[in-house]
Amino acid sequence: MIVAGAIAGTVALGIGLGFWASGDDSGPAGSAQRQSPSDGRSGAAASASGGGSPAPLPTRSYALSKAPQTIPAVRSHTAARGPGWRPARGERVVVNDADLADEGRLIAGELGLTYAGQKDDVQAGDVRLALGDGDGANPESYAMTVRGGRVNISGPSDAGVFYGTRTLKQEVHGGGTAPEGIVRDQPAKPVRGFMLDIARKHFTAGWIEDRVRELGDLKFNQLGLHFSDDQGFRIQSDTHPEIVSQQHLTKAEVKQIVDLAASRHITVVPEIDSPGHLGAVIAAHPDLQLRNAQGVAAKGAVDISKPAAAKIVDDLLNEYAGLFPGNQWNLGGDEYLALMVSNPAASYPQLAAAAVNKYGPGGTVSDLTTGWLNDRAGTIRAHGRTMRVWNDGFFRGTSVQPAKDLQVAYWTGKEIGARQPVEYLSAGRKLINYNDEFLYYVLGQPNNFVYPTGQRIYEQWTPRVVRGTQAVPAQYDGQILGGSFAVWCDLSNSQTQDQVAAGIRMPLRATVQKLWDPGQPGLSWTQFKALAGRLG
């Protein structure tokens, strides 16, 4: 955190007005504590100097402001002397552009102010939101100036302005004051995500909406929804209603979640994982299940040698592309059981035969699986999406290469044939950090998983710590787009959804702090936790 040079100032007022510190929340902005005549500016002081002239009038002054206390912490604050700003009923929120109407209405409602729309005049107490030119600036950056009893928040995009309003909301939380001065702020990483497994455990639409509001106030910008797996398919389908679980979200509920997320500048990232983790689809279509040479079923895996398997997945990808209008998609690709045996060709001869038929004598099951992934990417690419794939969906030594535009969602080094993150980064791949050592909240703690703590993330993790506890070289920092905290519901009844909300509260705050600014935090963990308690 940077605290830049101060701007000093005093305001001459009448006798009886004294010193008021902008950080004092005991009175309304602009109030002052009474100052006694014996404070050093009395007549006795004047006569002691040998003069008979009247004593100078007392002046009202302000302590140099302190940086806002927010989560995540602001990157830069230029201190100043002044009363700061706090909301009062009847004061206005005004905008310079109609595109900021949603941001203006939201912050006005939250702070009990009046949304006045586009105005050019200036009134006392105004909060003004403005779009600026911002050529070359980070689109999520903003500047917030508190001066003269007013607040001005500007940024190159409505997202940046929105983040400025989140800072203002936290500053004045519980009757506090936005400190005088200038905040200049922007995130270090463009991907700040939270992923929720709604396939294994049904979460209500209301609970998810509550998380969206929480994420927005913390300046997260992505919500991942993993809604298809072996245990359930949790969103209404018109193309394949037979696969949908009894407990599911309707499309109307999903649209409401997506719209709420958009109003908070959060992109919803859907995931239909394939060719593994399709058990709910297979339950309605058992003919698609992958079986080995002995006829034993591979749990959750479809037989990718069958064209019908590709068709049903493409049907779903095309259907849900219309429901999720954001520019991101997760194709999954992990833990395909055909590639988790010692000899895939011997165990699954039908896949080996299909690979040779498609790619020639040298074709392998890994080639066939990579080709499957590329074909699904082609389906989604036609909808203009950017795609990510779990790191164990990329296979070493294949003649068929994964599409160049696939980003790596790196979650673990535990999978068979695991590759270090640097192998992907040195090949030029962009990467999103889901490090399961720090960022995986797995219900029931199976397979040696332990519920992550906010303290461990806050003190030990950065976006460059992609696998285990070791950071990748700094030269790759630009390819690491950010990270995502993830909730997986392997043992779905281990916690209620309210217990999940409580359990992830501090880990979410620690994660976004390190994605917004990966440097050493200015607060200790104890201080950070106390701040989170005050902010709610």
Q: Which residue has the tokens 């963990």?
A: 525
Residue with tokens 């595109």: 99
Structure confidence by residue, pLDDT tens digits, 107-157: 999 999 999 999 999 999 999 999 997 778 999 999 999 999 999 999 999
Q: Which of 76, 232, 55 is nearest to 144 (CA)?
A: 76
* φ/ψ bin of 365: left (φ > 0), alpha (ψ from -120 to 50), beta (otherwise): alpha
pLDDT at 60: 67
Q: How many CB atoms lie within 10 A of CB 295?
A: 6
Round to whole Å and give the CA distance between 193 and 265. Answer: 12
Using one digit for the tens of pLDDT, what is the confidence trace for 35-71? Answer: 333 333 333 333 333 344 455 455 568 999 999 999 9
In sequence order, what E strands does 384-495 have? 386-390, 406-410, 431-433, 440-442, 465-467, 470-471, 480-488
C-beta separation of 337 from 290 below 8 A: yes
Look up residue 354 and give its amino acid. A
Mean predicted lDDT score pLDDT of the chain: 90
Q: DSSP code of 469?
A: T
Give one DSSP letter per residue of 321-377, joined into a string: HTT--SSEEEEE----GGGSSS-HHHH-HHHHHHHHHHH-TT--HHHHHHHHHHHHH
Looking at this protein, which amino acid is placed at residue 173?
H
Split the chain (536 residues) into runs of 10 and give each run's mean pLDDT. 37 27 31 31 35 49 93 98 95 97 98 96 97 88 97 98 98 93 98 98 98 98 98 98 98 98 98 98 98 97 98 98 96 94 96 98 96 98 97 91 96 82 97 98 96 98 97 98 98 98 98 97 97 95
Q: What is the pLDDT of residue 4?
A: 40
Distance separating alpha carbons of residues 371 and 355, to the nearest angstrom: 9
CA distance 147 to 99: 25
Nearest to 208 by CA among 146, 254, 164: 254
CB-CB neighbours of 356 under 10 Å:
16
**Predicted confidence (pLDDT) per residue in 265-324, tens digit:** 999 999 999 999 999 999 999 999 999 999 999 999 999 999 999 999 999 999 999 999
- Maximum CA extent, the chain: 111
Would you say 233 and 280 are in contact if contact means Cβ atoms under 8 Å apart?
A: yes
pLDDT at 493: 97
Q: pTM, whole model, 2 decimals? A: 0.88
